[in-house]
């Protein structure tokens, strides 16, 4: 590989003229209109914007769930905007850890099995899977809840299982879509603190949110409006991140 598709810099995300058009009936929806964005390794970025701003579409492309109509996207140095579905699946598996608003855990599987899931698709043997999954569950403070199934866990605990699952493959990028949207403010704070800790240990994190106080936990905010970047700025250093 290598060659023209590889850019050897510290950027985890680099987009160039990233564009996405949908055909909805007779209309063409121009959801994302040429976004250029660079996110370096170790950054903690909040992508904000009202509904209809194109942030979900942008996130789907960043998360390799969707491919752009135009433009390029390099993830961790690899050009991924032209990959096939199955190649994208492998990129998601190895480079990205997802945290969703609705948790998206398998309800019938235990917390441990849920966390093991990405490792199964990575083809890792069962003993190693178990070890790594347990390690990440300990990390998020659920070492004593491994055998529980999602319906037996609280919302905050479920989201922490999801965080453990997102981290288990040691991804280049932790991508969270409204991670606190279904949580009360206290639990939301816990999850965001967890993110901050992870970021301090060097984890690159991108969260998509429409809540300003959540975005305050990040170090940088990127505001989307009508498919363009409207504002892109660093947060004031808060007193908690010393």
Q: What is the CA radius of gyration of the chain?
A: 18
Candidate residues 49, 71, 118, 179; the one interacting with another protein per rule CB under 8 A? 118
Residue 5: how many CB atoms within 10 A of its CB?
15
122 binds another protein (CB under 8 A): yes
Q: Which is nearer to another protein, 118 or 217 (CB)?
A: 118
Q: Which is nearer to another protein, 61 or 221 (CB)?
A: 61
Q: Which is nearer to another protein, 33 or 90 (CB)?
A: 90
Q: Which residues of 35-74 are buried (b: 16+ CB within 10 A; e: fewer)?
A: bebebeeebbbbbbbeeebbbbbbbbbbbbebbbbebbbb
135 binds another protein (CB under 8 A): no
- CA end-to-end span of the chain: 41
Candidate residues 18, 44, 53, 60; the one interacting with another protein per rule CB under 8 A? 60
* Residues within window 98-117 making contact with another protein, judged by CB under 8 A: 98, 100, 104-106, 108, 117
Tell me 6's DSSP state.
B
Query: Whose CA is closest to 76, among 171, 208, 164, 163?
Result: 171
Residue 86 Cβ vs another protein, minimum distance, rounded to whole Å? 4
* Residues within window 64-93 making contact with another protein, judged by CB under 8 A: 65-66, 85-86, 89-90, 92-93
- Residue 146 to residues 62, 114, 115, 188, 223, Cα–Cα distance (Å): 30, 10, 9, 21, 38
Size of the site for another protein (CB under 8 A): 26
Q: Which residues bind another protein (CB under 8 A)?
A: 60, 63, 65-66, 85-86, 89-90, 92-94, 98, 100, 104-106, 108, 117-118, 120-123, 125, 165, 169
């Amino acid at each position: 590989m290598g060659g023209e598709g590889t850019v050897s810099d510290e950027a985890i995300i680099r987009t160039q003229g990233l564009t996405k058009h949908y055909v909805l009936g007779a209309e063409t929806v121009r959801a994302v209109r040429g976004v250029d964005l660079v996110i370096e390794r170790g950054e903690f970025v909040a992508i904000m914007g009202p509904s209809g701003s194109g942030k979900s579409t942008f996130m789907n492309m960043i998360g390799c769930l969707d491919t752009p109509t135009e433009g390029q996207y390099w993830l961790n140095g690899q050009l991924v905007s032209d990959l096939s579905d199955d190649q994208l699946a492998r990129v998601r598996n190895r480079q990205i850890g997802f945290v969703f608003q609705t948790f998206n855990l398998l309800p019938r599987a235990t917390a441990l099995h849920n966390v093991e899931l990405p490792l199964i698709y990575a083809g890792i043997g069962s003993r190693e899977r178990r070890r790594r999954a347990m390690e990440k569950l300990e990390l998020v403070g659920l070492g004593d809840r491994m055998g529980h199934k999602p319906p037996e866990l609280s919302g905050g605990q479920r989201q922490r299982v999801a965080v453990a699952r997102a981290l288990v493959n040691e991804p280049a990028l932790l991508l969270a879509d409204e991670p606190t949207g279904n949580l009360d403010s206290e639990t939301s704070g816990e999850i965001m603190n967890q993110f901050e800790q992870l970021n301090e240990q060097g984890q690159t994190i991108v969260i998509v949110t429409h809540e300003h106080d959540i975005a305050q936990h990040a170090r940088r905010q990127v505001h989307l409006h009508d498919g363009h970047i409207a504002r892109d700025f660093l947060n004031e250093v808060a007193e908690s991140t010393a």
